[in-house]
Structure 1
Amino acid sequence: MKKLINQFIKFGFVGVAAAIIDFGLLTILTEVFDIYYLISAAISFIVSTIFNYVASMTFVFESKYGKEQRHKEAMIFLALSVVGLILNQVMMWFFVDITNIYYIFAKVLATIIVMIWNFVSRKIWLEK
């Protein structure tokens, strides 16, 4: 249990760093470059996911794949991330366009949901 708690704390630190990248890039692309919020959200999600993959597999999760099978791990991570991206985009659209929540607040809600998906799915499919 202690290992799981320690792992979740590390996951949290990596997640906070990824969220800073995600929210920062989302805001810059939307506010400074006037890019439509769903496009900005997709770009920022992808960039933060790449960071998250490298940091998670380095500091949080112990891979169940050997060095010779890292491509398999990366493909699984990519598939899980595509589901996360779809969840993110649907949540952003729903909260902004349907419920009229400001896009940054919508991003907070979407991030919470995607974070849960990320932890559970990576525990199941990527960890030793």
Structure 2
Amino acid sequence: MRIVRYFFVGGTAALVDFTIFSLLVKGLHQPWFEAALISFVFASTTNYLLATRFVFRSGARFNRRYHEFAAVLLVSLTGLGINQIVLWLVIEQFHLDPLIAKIIGTGVVFFWNYNVRKHFVFRMKS
């Protein structure tokens, strides 16, 4: 079942994201905004590599080399924007800990990524 495999792939990427974010924010005392950008890049790369290996068939809809990468990049950048908005809301407006904000943001972006990748990026050609 694809959603179950994506859950494990997304969980691995989320672990990468959360670990790097935590290290930067709590360990190295970096601002949450920059830490989220850096950790998201690593997590998105992990997600793409694992998802195209275990969940989606790479090249199913687009030329893998160019269009698929551009589509995944667009989805990831949108996910980054969603993540940053959630972090801003939870940290700056609700005054919660950045790690709690990161968990919430990661959950929201997980569903965004799965649905857009399933229905747009890796949808089989008709």
Report the TM-score, using the length of structure 1 for normalisation: 0.90
Q: Which residue of 1 aligns with 2:99?
A: 104
Which range moved further: 37-46 or 77-86? 37-46
- Deviation (angstroms), 1:46: 1.0
- Deviation (angstroms), 1:31: 1.6
Kindly indicate whether residue 37 of structure 2 is the aligned counterpart of residue 37 of structure 1. Answer: no
Task: State the aligned residue count.
Answer: 122
- Deviation (angstroms), 1:124: 1.5
Select the structure that is richer in helix.
Answer: 1
Q: Which runs of 4+ in 1 moved over 3 A?
A: none
Counterpart of 1:109, as a letter, is I
Query: Aligned ranges for residues 1-128 of structure 1 at < 5 Å?
Result: 6-63=1-58, 64-65=60-61, 69-127=64-122, 128=124
Report the TM-score, using the length of structure 2 for normalisation: 0.91
- Counterpart-to-counterpart distance in 2, 1:23 and 1:106: 11
Query: Could you list the runs of 5+ residues in structure 2 that have no partner in the other structure?
Result: none
Sequence identity, in percent?
Answer: 29
- Deviation (angstroms), 1:65: 3.9
3-state DSSP of counterpart to 1:101: coil
- Counterpart-to-counterpart distance in 1, 2:31 and 2:117: 30
Change in Cα spacing, 1:60 to 1:69, as seen in structure 2 (3 Å) is closer
